[in-house]
Amino acid sequence: MSSHQDELLLSLQSSLRNALHTFGPTSVQYANISKTVDEHMAKTALQALTQKHDGSQTEEAKPWGGRLVFRVKGQ
């Protein structure tokens, strides 16, 4: 994880703790921040797997931009 991602995760975790203590575990605020933390962790894990698989190339270094679209064939 890059230092930027580390800092973002620390900030999100701090916000999550603050929302928990301020609004409680069943609040909309807590749920929204928790979802954001989960999405950030999933994105980070996916990037780590992609970099491991691709030989650590970043999206900008790939000629096709690193984004592929998969479409399911119609029935």
**12-27 per-position pLDDT tens digit:** 999 999 999 999 999 9
Domain range for residue 15? 9-50
pLDDT at residue 49 is higher than 60: yes
4 lies in a domain? no
Which letter does DSSP use for residue 54 in this model?
Answer: H
The answer, yes or no, to whether residue 2 has pLDDT greater than 90, is: no
- Cβ(1)–Cβ(44) below 8 Å: yes
Residue 58, Cβ density class (10 Å: 0-12 exposed, 13-18 middle, ≥19 buried)? exposed
CA angle 65, 48, 40 (to 5 degrees): 90
Overall domain count for the chain: 1
Given a cut of 80, is residue 68 above it in pLDDT? no
Question: What pTM value is reported for the model?
Answer: 0.62
In the predicted model, what is the mean pLDDT of residues 32-59? 81
> Taking all residues of the chain, what is their mean pLDDT, rounded to a whole number?
79
Q: In this structure, is residue 32 part of a structural domain?
A: yes
In a domain, 44, yes or no: yes
Residue 60 lies in a domain: no
